[in-house]
Amino acid sequence: MGCVIIFVMYNIPPETTVTTPTPQPPVEPVKPNNPKLLLTSLIVLEIITLSVAGYFEYQYSQLKKQISDNQVVPTSTPTATVQPINTSPSPQTDNQQLLKHDSKFITFNYPKSLYEWSFGRGVNLEYFQINSVNSDNQMSQNRVSIVFDIHVPQYKPQQTLEEMRQAITQYQKDYPEQHYVMSNRKIDGIDALVIESTADNVPSSEIAYTKKVWIRKNNVVYEIDFIVVGESIAKRDALKTQYSPIFEDILTSVKLKYVDPAEVERLGNHPD
């Protein structure tokens, strides 16, 4: 039914056109072409407009990206430059300021922050101390002393490292409350005996740790003692941890001088 209606409507216009005697203006045939031309012009103009707009939008996006990139680079560059800078003090600062002890029997370096006390040689060939406190505070409950006691053999001229080891072992048997740990090392290329002892269950003024380094060269005995005293076990152990590397640096720098045996004998007789 729909198809018949379409057919009838399609055939009606030709009949109307033929029977109508109304004359057409001479310009009517050209009139239907004007809208197409106008539409084409508008389409071309719109294409041009869109192309120009797209070009400027692309240029703007590129410029915006470049500005964004330029803003990121300056912020990241200073960060990379500043990050490696380490403003913390160097742990070697103290060791860079060294003093040198140079005597007839021994030479070594020690930090400027320590104090050297000299008591004269007394009955020894040489005796002095390097301390964490000055001589005015020598009775301080918290102190570290590095004692250099240089003398002739105390027991007999033939005393050796092994004889000293045996003497310490026997002493520990006689006094079992004393606990010693013995080990070997070298000082200036010479064999040395290390003797360590720790006192805990004692009065507060005697809470100490001692490390004795015993060396013999020619007819001279060198005893270098590292003594740490603290008002408590915790304080003593803290001082020990702090100063042990310094003591090790001092031992590493030690040089034992050669002294003529006749000079040693003369000094051992304690002349005025």
Q: What is the pLDDT of residues 140-188, one digit of tens each?
A: 889 999 999 999 887 676 688 898 889 888 888 888 777 889 999 999 9
Please give the pLDDT value at position 240: 95
pLDDT, one tens digit per residue, over 73-123 is 444 444 333 333 333 333 444 445 899 999 999 999 999 999 988 776 677
Measured torsion, CA atoms of residues 51, 52, 57, 62, in degrees rounded to the nearest 10? 100
Which residues, at least 6 apart from 171, have a Cβ–Cβ distance to it below 8 Å?
178, 180
Q: Reduce the DSSP state of residue 72 to 3 states and report it.
A: helix
CA nearest to 191, candidates 169, 217, 168: 217
Please give the pLDDT value at position 154: 73
Q: Is 188 left (phi over 0), alpha (psi -120 to 50) or beta?
A: left
- With beta carbons less than 8 A apart as the criterion, state whether 203 and 247 touch: no
Tell me what the mean pLDDT of segment 40-60 comes to.
61
State pTM to two decimals. 0.62
Q: What are the residue ranges spanned by the domains of the chain?
A: 34-80, 96-268
- Look over the chain and give the mean of its residue pLDDT values, rounded to a whole number: 74
pLDDT, one tens digit per residue, over 11-44 is 444 444 444 455 555 545 444 455 556 656 666 5
- CATH class of the region 96-268: alpha beta
The answer, yes or no, to whether residue 271 has pLDDT greater than 60, is no
DSSP string, 148-197: EEEES-SS-TT--HHHHHHHHHHHHHH-TT--EEEEEEEETTEEEEEEEE
